Chain A
Amino acid sequence: MPGPKPRSEAERLLDEDLVDSYYSCEEAAFDELSVRHSQRLWAFFRSLGFDEYQCADFKQECLLKLVLGKRGEGPRFERTKGRGMFRAWLRTAASNLARDVWRRQNRWELDDLDEEESETSLPERPPDDWIGPTEVFETLVLAQTLKRCLGDLSAGSRQIFVLKYYEGYSVKEIEEMLGLSYTQVNNTLFRTREKVRKRLEEKGFEYRPAIAPGPIGEVVLRFEDEVLVYIGERHKEEDDE
């Protein structure tokens, strides 16, 4: 049986080494960087609430910054530390780009999270013409719920939330990326997290012990000790009663 496909030399290199190779005229290194980061950049912008065309443009624009930096036509990536630095550089570029767009629309701010939530109902059960596993449908509902919940946050809070909980950056890194104070980032994270968690519960998503999922509800995600089940808003009300 053939083994796993051997990794090319470029695939084995760190991002930062690939940037060095690209700056010294190895264009294949740019292709590898592009493959590694394209989809993640797209998903990053999507999570910030931009439409698919905007995401595609912004993703290319971030990668173009690397191209322009090579010839001194834009800011150049300077290697200062080891692993992860390029990803942070790229994410800073993406964050700044998003922030510039929001600022042009006068939309960038950190909110106090007291605003009214947008009340659009989600489907509780798959529609009649749904083809596909129910579990996938539940996951979609979960994703939609989360998107709407993030859509209720201000642009700034949403950006901090995505950088922390989706992209995995530390509070300190986010503070540096966005030029905010530690307290601002930390407070925003705490409040947004609680708001999102509460909203998911209201919409009928519950974590239960893995061994007892309960009589009602579909398992959406499984973890070591718990499962996330979707019982829907209506069933949740019945359950509560």
Chain B
Amino acid sequence: MSEKNFLGTLRTLYEIEIERAPSRHPLQTPDCLPLVRFSPKVQKGWTEEERAHVGGCAYCERMMALVWREACPSPWTLARHALGTFPYAIAMQFHLERDRCPRCNQVLESRLIVRLKELAEQLGDLAASMAVVYRGPAYAGEFASEKRPPLLIRGTNEDGSLVSTLLETDEGFLALYVESSDPVNAGRRVAAEVMMTEGEPLAAELELGPAGEFGCRAEHIFGRIEEFKQIFQGCVLLVRWFDESQ
């Protein structure tokens, strides 16, 4: 048996396999969205027609779930799912049950969901007004400062008007910074909560002040980081525009 022909045999069989490969996914129909429409940023711009097709389409919802393998759905999307208002249940089921995403299953079991339900009942649709960030225990190292990077989590609400950053300062304090790129938001108030695995949530109300021509900002120091060790076991930062009617 010559080496050359043995390798030729392998390649020939592979070419046969390639030829018999189906050109489309077995669940795909001619009406399904092309792959380029499944980028999360593009999904936000889906037309009504596209949304109507995707909801309930086995292939399209599966593609959504495949995208979530790269980047999990936002906590807000999970909250909508828990509230029963997320329209793509097949995709979510695939992600949670078939892919068994540990991070998303953990968020769904967390107090965040309970809190979001409460807020939804109080305030109605929250998506446009709230920045939610989840930091899973996978990122948590030991508390000793020399063995872990400084805490830093950051989130933006859906319309991009609120950018929230929770971080550990160089001086060892746990600080929250909230920024808005639109100067018109100066004087508006935001409510912030940091939920941790144990203990009461940290809460603060901040008023945005002008920050030159680049918008407005506010900051709040919760205290020394040593006081909040449990934050490294996982936490959720939730920042929303304050409802002035309250």
Counting from the closest, the 8 A-B pairs by CB-CB distance are A39-B21, A42-B21, A166-B14, A43-B17, A43-B18, A207-B1, A223-B5, A165-B10
Least CB distance from B41 to A in Å reads 5
Report if B212 contacts A (CB, 8 A).
Answer: no
- Chain A to chain B contacts (Cβ below 8 Å), 29 pairs: A30-B35, A43-B21, A52-B22, A56-B22, A57-B25, A57-B62, A57-B66, A59-B25, A60-B35, A64-B70, A65-B70, A68-B40, A70-B39, A71-B39, A73-B40, A73-B41, A74-B71, A139-B13, A143-B13, A143-B16, A146-B13, A165-B7, A165-B11, A166-B10, A197-B6, A207-B2, A207-B6, A223-B4, A223-B5
Q: A38-B21, A165-B7 are in contact. List 8 more A-B contacts (CB 8 A).
A: A40-B18, A56-B26, A60-B66, A139-B13, A197-B6, A225-B2, A226-B2, A228-B5
A61 to B171, CA, bound (A): 44
Most chain-A Cβ atoms within 10 A of its Cβ — which of B2, B12, B62? B12
A225 to B13, CA, bound (A): 19
Specify the main secondary structure of chain B where it touches its partner: helix
Chain A 19-58 against B: per-residue CB contact (8 Å), 1 yes, 0 no? 0000000010011001100111011001100001101110
Chain B 214-230 against A: per-residue CB contact (8 Å), 1 yes, 0 no? 00000000000000000
Contact call B70/A74, Cβ cutoff below 8 A: yes
Least CB distance from A164 to B in Å reads 9
Contact call A67/B21, Cβ cutoff below 8 A: no
With contact pairs A68-B71, A74-B71 given, residues A207 and B5 touching in the complex (Cβ less than 8 Å): yes
Report if A88 contacts B (CB, 8 A).
Answer: no
A240 to B84, CA, bound (A): 70
- Number of A-B residue pairs, CB cutoff 8 Å, is 112
| B interface list, Cβ under 8 A from A | 1-2, 4-14, 16-19, 21-23, 25-27, 34-36, 38-42, 62-63, 66-67, 69-71
A201 contact set on B, CB distance < 8 A: 1
Least CB distance from B215 to A in Å reads 22
| A interface list, Cβ under 8 A from B | 27, 30-31, 34-35, 38-40, 42-43, 46-47, 52-53, 55-57, 59-61, 63-65, 67-68, 70-71, 73-74, 139, 142-143, 146, 165-168, 193, 197, 201, 206-207, 221, 223, 225-226, 228
Least CB distance from A132 to B in Å reads 14
A39 contact set on B, CB distance < 8 A: 18-19, 21-23
In the complex, which of the residues A56, A73, A168, A197 contacts B71, with contact meaning CB atoms closer than 8 Å?
A73
